Structure formats: C-alpha cells, structure tokens
Amino acid sequence: MSKEILMVAEAVSNEKGVDQGIIFEAIEQALAMATKKRYEEGANIRVVIDRETGDYQSFRWWDVVADDEMAELGTQFTTEEAIEQDPTLKVGDTYEETVENIAFGRIAAQTAKQVIVQRVKDAERELIINRFRHRVGELLSGTVKKVTRDHIVVDFGENAEGMLPREELVGREIFRINDRTRVILTAIREETRGPQLLVSRAAPEMLVQLFQIEVPEIAEGIIEIKGAARDPGQRAKIAVKSKDARIDPVGACVGMRGARVQAVSNDLDDERVDIVLWDDNPAQLVINAMAPAEVESIVVDEDSNTMDVAVNDENLAQAIGKGGQNVRLASELTGWNINVMTIEDAQQKHEAESSSFVESLMTALDVDEDVAVVLVEEGFTSIEEVAYVPLEEMSAIEGFDEDIAEELRARAKDALLTMALASEEQLTNVQPAEDLLTMEGMDAELAYKLTAKSIITMEDLAEQAVDDLMDIDGMDEEKAAALIMTARAPWFAEEQGE
C-alpha cells in the first residue's frame, strides 16, 4: 500500500503539474473520510503519510470541554471523561489515540479519487491565477478552441482558457477552431468551476500593445504612448510623445510607407488609425486630435472641462466625423468635452456670452457699458476676477490707471460681500422643522446650525453621513453618529411594522 501511495502521488503530480505535497494532502483527507465511516457516531480523524516511505498512521482525537457543557458524542470529552484517559488533561486540550489504518486500495477508486481530483482542480486553478495575475492588460497569443454564438474560447496552453465575448471582437471578425489570435487580458474572474480569463480585442490597450510590438522605439521607451481611443474595427486615435527631440514620434509610428501603422491596422480588421502628436497644452492637444480637420479657433472652459472648437463650414462634416466619430474619439483621447461648431456659430455664442458678462458687470460694479465692455474684452468674466486680480494687471489696461483699478476692485469686493450677506440672511430666515427641534439629543442652537447646512427635518438628518456633520462647531464623530441614528429610528420602526 505504501508503494501504491507513492506511485499515485508521483503519477498525478507529473500529469497535472501539481506539487506532490498537495497530492499527499488529498490522499490523507480521503483516508480520513473513509476511516470516519467505521464509526456510527461522529469522529475526528486525521491521517499522516510519510512523504519518503509512503507509510501512514491514523489518529482519532477528542476536544476536552467543561463538565457543565453538553459534549458532542464521538468528538468531545467532558473533563471527567478526559481524566479517565489522561489525568493531566484540562478544558481546551485535545486527547488523541492511534486507530487502525484503513487499506488504501479499498478506497482508491472512490473517495480518494474524488478528493484528489478536487484538490488537483483547486491547485490548477491557483496555478492559473498566479500565472496570469500580473498579466492583466498584457497582449496574449492563443488558439481558438471553441466558437459559440455568444463568445469564443481561446486556449493559452496548460489548461488556461480565455473567454472572448462577441461584443469584444473587432468589426466583423470571424474565427474558426484552431485559428491563431492575439487578445488583451482585461480581468480574471474566479469561479467555483475554475478561473475565467476575460479577454478582449476591442479594448484601447489592444492598440497600445500592438504598437509596442511594431514600433521598436516604443518598446525601448524612446516614444511614449500617452493615450488611445477606439471605435473598434472602424477608427482609432493614439497620442504619442517622443523623449528624444531628434525623433519624430508620429513618423516613427507610421513607419516607412506606412508599414508599421498598416501592420497594426491589418491585425484589427483594417481599423483606421490616426496618430496624434501629444502636447502638454490641452488646447493644442485638442487641435492635434481633431485632425484631419483644421481648427480655426478654440475656446477653453476649465470649469466645465469643455472646449468650443470652431471650423470652416466646409470642414464641419469632417471635424464631426461619420456619426460624430471624429469628435467623440478626440474627446476620449484628450479627456475634454469638445463642442464643434462653425466660425459663425462660435462668434454668435461668444457675442451672447460677452453680452451677458457685460450686463452682470455693469450691475454689480455700477459702471457704464463702455467700462464693462473693456473688462470683458480683457478677459474678466466674473466679479471674483475683478475683486482679486493683481492691481498692476488691471491698471495696465489701456485707459485705466491705478485709481480706477483700485475703485473697481473695491466695488467688486463690496458686491461680493453684499451677495454673501444676502445668502446668509436667506439661510437665517429658514426655520428648522418641529421634528428636528424636538428630537432627542437636539438643542435650538444645533438645530439652526444644521438648518444653515440645508438640514431642516429629521428626514434630512437621517440621510446624512457622519463626515457631512464634522464641519459643525462642537461636533465629534460619536455625537454625529448618535444624532443620525436617532433621526433614522422611524425608518427601523417602519421596517419592523412591515
């Protein structure tokens, strides 16, 4: 039997590529399970196999519990029962004795086989996860193993398979069994039946990895890919930057007679790839990304992360692209929301906005239209900008001097103060609800502080988190949590009533 155990451990280990220690543990578990069946009551059994000789021993053990506890039959001893076996035993100890071994051959085809198979599967699963855990985002090569209506199974060898959903294919690709393909590993999903490697050919990383293969300068770190955006199978944009001023990153990625970019395109079902020169200036980057359309003017709104791009009428369709494709890819690549419009539309929008700014400055600063127009033309679009711009910058405006600049700044600050007081007065006029005022743990001062934060009712308070209240004077985490739980008490009462 000892030799048989050693033979099984070696054979299964070689066949599955799993450490022999795991096989021995599986056999020990199988022998223990089979030995338990000898006893009508429950039994704690463990089996230890000598890894060198294959000899094994079986042990049965009991936990020692207090006399006033109900000992489980077959697995526990009371202190009184334990002392009969060994006077030194006390509560919390374990008593163990050797029992007769069960023959390995009798269970080889049943329990041991099932346990070994399961343990081997677990070990294989762990091997696959460890093998690919650090390769998420990398390009993998494999063979098509199975094609279904919903997905394609790609075999990477050594029992590792990738799941390629049809929506992650490029264009109208058709795969057949045994076809070779390259994919990007996007995620590893651990399931009971085995780890599932989720792969894609439509992810932007696929484009990046293919360029790294085709363009040596990228692999060497001379050229950096700053971003990529794709409409899989149709069109893509990729932004590149050179770390060596002597090397043209766009030209290097295009290659001699377009050979490099064409090789990438061929691997992606003839997907058209625009190579964009990266620029640290966001406006220039958007201009580059809008190619081949020529941009006439651009207006940047950092607050809304938006750029208005103006083009000639004849370039409008090209700038937008079929189904908005060009502007959408440019937005994804640059991270900016891009509004494409004609020069005429851009002028009308600018005039409307300027008119609005002029009116607001005239009202807030109590100045005539000419002064407000000059401020807007110089880039002032809000009262805050007038109030806090450096004095020398405003006094440098043609027709202005230091006195005018100081007066305008003072009026702007007064206007801001008036607005703040009006806002505070409006908040002060709001009264806390009765249920908030009378709530347990509440006082009038605290209720008005909450009202200033637009927390007017108990329901409003119940919807807050502890962090939301920490900016209130005298508030700590414990007090905030207690108030919120009190406010939520009606919720729990309703649930219990249901």
Q: What is the CATH number of the domain that holds 13?
A: 3.30.1480.10
pLDDT tens-digit series, residues 256-295: 988 999 999 988 888 899 999 999 999 999 999 998 888 8
- Does position 399 have pLDDT exceeding 60, yes or no? yes
Q: Are residues 112 and 49 in the same domain?
A: yes
Residue 433's pLDDT is 87
Domain boundary among 167, 202, 237: 202
Q: Are residues 113 and 163 in the same domain?
A: no
Q: Are residues 330 and 361 in the same domain?
A: yes
On whether the CB atoms of residues 13 and 26 are closer than 8 A, the answer is: no
pTM assigned to the model: 0.56
Domain boundary among 120, 145, 176: 120
Is residue 386 in some structural domain?
no
Residue 171's pLDDT is 78
pLDDT tens-digit series, residues 208-256: 999 999 999 998 889 999 999 998 889 999 999 999 888 999 999 998 9
On whether the CB atoms of residues 161 and 155 are closer than 8 A, the answer is: yes
Q: Are residues 15 and 110 in the same domain?
A: yes
Domain boundary among 169, 202, 235: 202
How many whole angstroms separate alpha carbon 287 and alpha carbon 462? 49
Residue type, 211: F
Going by pLDDT thresholds of 50, 70 and 90, the confidence category of residue 388 is confident
Q: Are residues 177 and 67 in the same domain?
A: no
Q: Are residues 16 and 113 in the same domain?
A: yes
Tell me the pLDDT of the chain averaged across its residues.
84
Is residue 246 in some structural domain?
no
Q: What is the CATH number of the domain that holds 364?
A: 3.30.300.20
Radius of gyration of the chain (CA): 37
Cα–Cα separations (whole angstroms), residue 453 to 437, 465, 471: 15, 13, 10
Is residue 289 in some structural domain?
yes
How many whole angstroms separate alpha carbon 36 and alpha carbon 102? 10
- The larger pLDDT score, comparing residue 428 to residue 79, is at 79
Is residue 271 in some structural domain?
no
Residue 323's pLDDT is 86
Q: Are residues 13 and 98 in the same domain?
A: yes
Residue 109's pLDDT is 44
- The larger pLDDT score, comparing residue 372 to residue 434, is at 434
Q: What is the CATH number of the domain that holds 165?
A: 2.40.50.140
Is residue 207 in some structural domain?
no
How many whole angstroms separate alpha carbon 437 and alpha carbon 448? 9
Residues 6+ apart with CB under 8 A from 274: 235, 236, 237, 238, 291, 292, 329
**What's the structural domain count of the chain?**
4
Is residue 236 in some structural domain?
no
On whether the CB atoms of residues 329 and 229 are closer than 8 A, the answer is: yes
Going by pLDDT thresholds of 50, 70 and 90, the confidence category of residue 447 is confident
Q: What is the CATH number of the domain that holds 489?
A: 1.10.150.20
Q: Are residues 148 and 45 in the same domain?
A: no
Going by pLDDT thresholds of 50, 70 and 90, the confidence category of residue 193 is low
How many Cα atoms are found within 13 Å in the side-chain-facing hemisphere of 217?
Answer: 21
Q: Are residues 113 and 144 in the same domain?
A: no
Q: Are residues 447 and 473 in the same domain?
A: yes
Contacts of 206-211 with CB under 8 Å at 24 or more apart are 206/139, 206/182, 206/230, 206/268, 207/236, 207/238, 207/264, 207/268, 207/273, 208/238, 209/138, 209/139, 209/184, 210/139, 210/182, 210/263, 210/264, 210/267, 210/268, 211/238, 211/253, 211/260, 211/264
On whether the CB atoms of residues 31 and 58 are closer than 8 A, the answer is: yes
- The larger pLDDT score, comparing residue 191 to residue 413, is at 413
- Does position 15 have pLDDT exceeding 60, yes or no? yes
Q: Are residues 113 and 158 in the same domain?
A: no
Residue type, 48: V
Distance of CA 25 to the CA centre of its chain: 38
Residue 496's pLDDT is 59
Residue 174's pLDDT is 86
Beta strands 235-242 and 223-231: pairing type?
Answer: antiparallel
415, two tokens: 């206007």
Range of the domain at 357: 279-381
Backbone angles phi, psi at 150, to 5 degrees: -100, -30
Q: Are residues 29 and 56 in the same domain?
A: yes
Is residue 319 in some structural domain?
yes
Burial level of 399, CB count in 10 A (0-12/13-18/19+)?
A: exposed
- Does position 57 have pLDDT exceeding 60, yes or no? yes
Helices (H), 94-169: 104-107, 111-132
- The larger pLDDT score, comparing residue 182 to residue 11, is at 182
**What does the pLDDT average to over 376-399?**
76
Is residue 51 in some structural domain?
yes
On whether the CB atoms of residues 324 and 317 are closer than 8 A, the answer is: no
pLDDT tens-digit series, residues 19-54: 788 778 888 888 888 888 888 788 999 999 998 888
Going by pLDDT thresholds of 50, 70 and 90, the confidence category of residue 116 is low
